[in-house]
Amino acid sequence: MWKITFQALFVLVLAWFFGNFVLGWFQQSPVKPRTASRAAADGPDQSCFCHLTGVLDDCFCDIESIDVFNNFKIYPSIKKLTERDYFRYYRVNLKRPCPFWPDDGHCSIRDCHVEPCPEYSQAANSVSGLSDCEQAKELGAINSTLSNQSKEAFADWARHDDAQDHFCELDDETSPDAEYVDLLLNPERYTGYKGPSAWRVWNSIYEENCFKPRSVYRPLNPLAPSRGESRFVCRARLCLEKRVFYRLISGLHSSINIHLCAEYLLDEGWGKPVWGPNIQEFRQRFDPAETKGEGTRRLKNLYFLYLIELRALSKVAPYFERAFVNLYTGNAQEDGATKELLLQVFNETKAFPMHFDEKSMFAGNKMEAKTLKEEFRLHFKNISRIMDCVGCSKCRLWGKLQTQGLGTALKILFSEKEIKNLPEHSPSKGFQLTRQEIVALLNGFGRLSTSIHQLHSFRSLLKQKR
């Protein structure tokens, strides 16, 4: 009996040793490269369409460097910063009527009533439109919960801000309908806002306000009759300034879409909705096969926008480094810690070695440069007004915030001389930022940083599905 047991044990040990030897040999064997012929045989690698590499157009920065810099240095810090009291509350007017067309949104901004939805359901040839609208009503509503202590603090903030010198248009801050919104209670994510109203907003931005190359494909409202591109006055090759403007808007659109895909309503559950990444939705928006080859360009435009706003943060650092500039909330200890964290973020941005060179813009003939800069300003102002036409309150909130954040970044890049000449111990009449602009600038950049971080997560999920 012992002899049989020993022989069986010897066979098992021998089998284990031989199996590990064979496995190790296979692991150490070189993998054949994916040659053109092999790639053709295997088919396209659909899981890697969002894995971008190489140098971005119109600047000398590679995508890999941005990924490492953002995901390991900037993202953790900017996330902490935007959770501080100064940056979590944004004053905005969500009741301003759309100046371009009647408010026929998917669900109304004021009370999210459902009247427009039967028309959308009929147009979409689906009876599920009503439930979609009811869902959008709930998901798109603003959480306006504020404590009495917070309301008293806001009144104190207003008294402090009114005592400062303002030398720019205050916009929503001075409106009687403007109110503070807690951004942490109203995160940017899927709301169910879709259909003709949403398409009209983005189509208006791209068709009427953007210097759009003819070669770029845009998914127009499939329910509307085709109008062609006769309205565009474009050239095959746009000058740098016009390319930059288009890429900024495209990058903003891409960033917003990534947030909606990453924070998608996966399951309503029993009163506890489950949010998470929706890979199929991500593919529909960015897979080249689903977007006529535009998906990769859209993602690259996101990185380009990130570089623009990153450059603005590095440029505006001297404004905040002055001792008398504080981030006032009434809590001296909180304010000091917030400013210290903000200066840490600025130091990180200044250390980035491959910034976009904004001096290459508007560098030609002075008269042409002045005209282009004014076009920039007017186009962007028009886009910010279109955000008042968004029919979902949460979408409108984040659209207005990120648009103002980008506008503030452009204001900074166009004010280099004024920032260089800032007085050390007193406010400047040449350059000033309001509380609203500061909150929008940092939260807007935080959204871009989050998008690039979320792209890394989507890459991992797509690899798992290979």
pLDDT in tens, 400-423: 999 999 999 988 988 888 898 898
What's the average pLDDT block by block, 10 residues per block, for the chain (466 residues)?
A: 51 52 41 38 48 74 92 96 96 89 53 26 32 50 59 55 40 76 92 84 81 52 37 47 86 96 87 89 92 91 95 95 91 95 96 83 71 80 89 91 93 88 82 93 98 94 84
Domain ranges of the chain: 63-465
Phi first, then psi: what are they for 3, rounded to 5°? Answer: -65, -40
- Output the known binding site for FAD: 189, 191, 202, 250, 253, 285
- The amino acid present at 166, given as its one-letter code, is H
The values of phi and psi at residue 258, to 5°, are: -65, -40
Contact residues for 240 (Cβ-Cβ < 8 A; gap 6+):
58, 360, 361
Q: Over the stretch 285-313, which tens digit does the pLDDT of each residue have?
A: 999 989 988 999 999 999 999 999 999 99
Find out whether 87 and 157 touch, Cβ atoms under 8 Å: no
Please say whether the beta carbons of 117 and 132 come within 8 A.
yes
Active site residues: 392, 395
Is the separation of the CB atoms in 199 and 124 below 8 Å? no
Q: Which pLDDT value is given to residue 320?
A: 96
**Residues 434, 418: Cα–Cα separation, whole Å:** 16
pLDDT at 35: 39
CA-CA distance, 197 to 393, in Å (whole number)? 13
Contacts of 190 by beta carbon, 8 Å cutoff, 6+ apart: 139, 260, 263, 264, 265, 275, 278
pLDDT at 198: 86
- Within 10 A of 385 (CB to CB), how many other CB atoms are there? 15
H helix or E strand, kind and range, residue 265? strand 264-267
Scanning 287-422, the segments in alpha helix (DSSP H) are 295-321, 332-351, 366-386, 393-413, 416-420
Rounded-to-integer distance, Cα 421 and Cα 403, Å: 27
Q: Is the dihedral angle over the CA atoms 353, 256, 263, 387 positive or is it negative?
A: positive
Q: With contact defined as beta carbons under 8 Å apart, do 70 and 449 qualify?
A: yes
**79/443 Cα distance (integer angstroms):** 9
Residues for the chain: how many in total? 466
State residue 197's pLDDT score: 83
Q: Which residues are annotated as a binding site?
A: 189, 191, 202, 250, 253, 285
Which burial class, exposed, middle or buried, applies to 289 when counting CB atoms under 10 A from its CB (0-12, 13-18, 19+)?
Answer: exposed
Predicted pLDDT at 31: 35
pTM of the model: 0.74
